Each structure stands twice: as C-alpha cells, then as structure tokens.
Structure 1
Amino acid sequence: MSDWRQARTARLWLDEPVEGDADALFAIHSDPASWRHFPSGLVTDPAAGATMVGASRRRFERDGLAYWSVRDADGGPAVGRGGCMVPDEALGIDGGGRGWWNLYYRFDQRVLGRGYAAEMGRAALDAAHEVAPERPVLAFLLEHNVASRRTAEKVGLRLVWRGPDDGNPDPDAVRLVFLDREPDDLFVAEVASEGWDAERNVC
C-alpha cells in the first residue's frame, strides 16, 4: 500500500501538515472570503492552525489518510487544505464503526480558479479507495455554493441527498450530500441528519 502522507499530482504537492503550516492554514480559514457561502463557519481562533495540523497528523497515524496541506511549489507555503478524513463522529461512540471518508477542500483565495480543488480531490479519492475502499467517500455542500458543487461533480461524486442544513444560522440554507457509490438509503439518511463541524467537513 502507498504511503499517502505525501503525494504528487501534476501541479500540487500534498503533504501531511507540519507545524510550520499552522499560520498559513489559519490565514486561509480566517479569511471571510473563504466563507462567503457560510459566514458562521469563519475561523477566528489563532490556535486553530495548530489544531488543524495536530488533527491531521493524529488521523494519518490512526487511519493512514487525512487532510493534507496543499502546496503548488515544492517546499512552498500551504495554499490550501484538503483531502479525505474519517470524522471521529463517523466511527460511533465506541470508535468501532465503519466510518466514512469526508472529502474536504478549502484554498487561499489567490489561487482560486486554477482547478486545484478538483486536482487534489481526485488524488484524495484515489487514496481513500486504496486505504479503505469499504468506506464511502462523502462531501457535504451547501446548495448555493455552486463552485464547490462543480468540484464534487468533477471528481466523480454524485448527489444522493438534499435537505435542510440543520444547525445553520441561515434558515433557508440547503445541504447537499454527494457520494462516490450507489447509496445505502439508511446510511445516507443517518449521515444527512447529523450536524458537522463546518471547518472540518463542509465544502
């Protein structure tokens, strides 16, 4: 099996986060422009960057795959964060559940429009399918985030659920769930009914 702590695509370096990425990750997630479709998701705690680094590293150790720091130059600063990760909640109370891979992508506003999210997303699906193919890959989106929806479609996911976004301060917000395989109705209904931490899971 491949070591997915580092991976390459045509233009991107996908790396297990390191402490030096914390400031760049915080800057990306604390930029209001990154959250125009979900303003309440804005990250404001300066310690959040270090938390992201630690969360990814723990999950790489546990699951063999987690969110990468995305670079567009070898050794360059992180210009995004993304990949597939198993949310702790997906494993159940005792940690013994099958879980699923959550596909996530968020990038520095200065690199939007280059197709980086889809390029990284394809690599993330390849990684997830190799590491634990029995786990479905899901992406949680907000319907009015058209660019995010297009990315999910470009990497091969398809819409399997549409409904209210419980817990969103915007009462009119609609959540979409995209999946990489034929849906299990019970599974999708369970996933769609849960509330998820915006920073980690909603694209």
Structure 2
Amino acid sequence: MTDWRHIRTERLWLDEPVQDDLGDLHRIHADPASWAHFPQGRHLDLARTQQSLDASEVDWAHGLGYWCVRDSAAGPVIGMAGCAVVAGQPWWNLYYRFESSVRGRGYAAEAAGAALEAAHDVVPDRPVLAYLLDINVASRRTAEKSGLTLVWSGPDAGNDDPDAIRLVYLDREPDAAIRAAMDERFTPGPTV
C-alpha cells in the first residue's frame, strides 16, 4: 500500500492537513460562495474548522483522509479534497471543496481522480461514494468525470430547503448491503 499523505498530480500538491493549514481551511469553509448550494454547511467559526482538522487526524491514522490542495509547492491551501470514511459508513466519502478564485480549472476532477486511486489502493473493496445536491451542476460534473455513476436520488433529509434533492454517485454497482446502507443514510425518516 502506498503512503498517500503527500502526493503530486499533474498540477496539484495534495498533503495531509496540519495545524498550520487551519487559517486557509477556515477561509475556504467560511466563504459563503463555497456553500452557495448548501448554506447550512458553512463554517461560521474557527472552532468548526478545527473540528474538521481534528477529524482529519483520525482519518489519516487509518491510512487515508482529505488532503489540503495547493497549486504550487509553497502556495496557500486552495482547497480540500480526498476520500475518508465518515460516521462508520461502509464506503469512502469523496469530498472536494475549493476556493472560488480557482474554480473552473478542473482541479476538483484532478484531485478526485487521485482520491479514487488512493481509496482503491487502501481498501479496494470499499466503494467510493459522492453525495451532492442536484442544483450543484459543477459537483455533478466532477463526480461524473471521475467515473462515478448516479445510483440514488431523493429528498435531502435534514436540509433547510424542503425542495432540495440529494444525488448519490458510486464507483460501482451497489450490492444489497451498500444499497441498504444508502437507503438508511439518505432516505428521509417519517415526519412527525
């Protein structure tokens, strides 16, 4: 198995986050433009970003997590991307979020390709999943360019927007266990 903590793609430096990255990560995650399609996800304070950074340490202790993304060796963090296991789910979660000034350059797809390669190396039997809102066309394109296929869509449980539709993409056909886990995770429960 490869050590995926620090890798290079054609244009990107992907590195395991460290405490010194906190300010850049917070700038990206606190920017309303980064959350245009899901405003309730925005980090409103530094403590929320610190929680994400702390969780990243746990992810990387298991062999893979989300990278800080740079487009030059000594440049600032311009995004966060990679695969990690979230909340004990039976899949890798593919994640990508970039500052608005670098969107449209294909960086998300480039980082996602590296993330899929890493996930398939670390635990190849664990599927890679991306979930996003249907109105986020750029995120859909990234998932599709990465070779993921739409396997589920429906109302987005817990979203402040009652009309929000969640899309779930997967890197393979889901077996019965993955399908059941997706239904449990993404199907809204009964309303009271």
Give the TM-score taking structure 1 as reference length: 0.88
Instruction: Answer yes or no: is the 8 Å Cα contact 2:43–2:49 preserved in 1.
Output: no
CA RMSD of aligned residues (A): 1.2
Residue 201 of structure 1 aligns with which residue? none
Deviation at 1:75, TM superposition (A): 2.5
Residue 60 of structure 1 aligns with which residue? 60
> 1:7 is paired with a residue of what secondary structure?
strand
Residue 144 of structure 1 aligns with which residue? 135
Deviation at 1:185, TM superposition (A): 4.3
Residue 81 of structure 1 aligns with which residue? 80
- Is there any run of 5+ residues in structure 1 with no aligned partner, and where? 91-98, 196-203
After TM superposition, the structure 1 = structure 2 runs for residues 29-178 of structure 1, keeping only pairs within 5 Å, are 29-61=29-61, 63-90=62-89, 99-178=90-169
> 2:135 is paired with a residue of what secondary structure?
coil
- Measured against aligned partners, the alpha-carbon deviations of 1:1-22 in whole angstroms (never above 9, x if no partner) come to 2100011100000000011100
Q: Which amino acid aligns with 2:116?
A: L
Residue 26 of structure 1 aligns with which residue? 26
Instruction: Answer yes or no: is the 8 Å Cα contact 2:78–2:98 preserved in 1.
Output: yes
Q: Which amino acid aligns with 2:18?
A: V
Instruction: Answer yes or no: is the 8 Å Cα contact 1:100–1:138 preserved in 2.
Output: yes
- Is there any run of 5+ residues in structure 2 with no aligned partner, and where? 187-192
Instruction: Answer yes or no: is the 8 Å Cα contact 2:33–2:100 preserved in 1.
Output: yes
Residue 190 of structure 2 aligns with which residue? none
Deviation at 1:186, TM superposition (A): 4.6
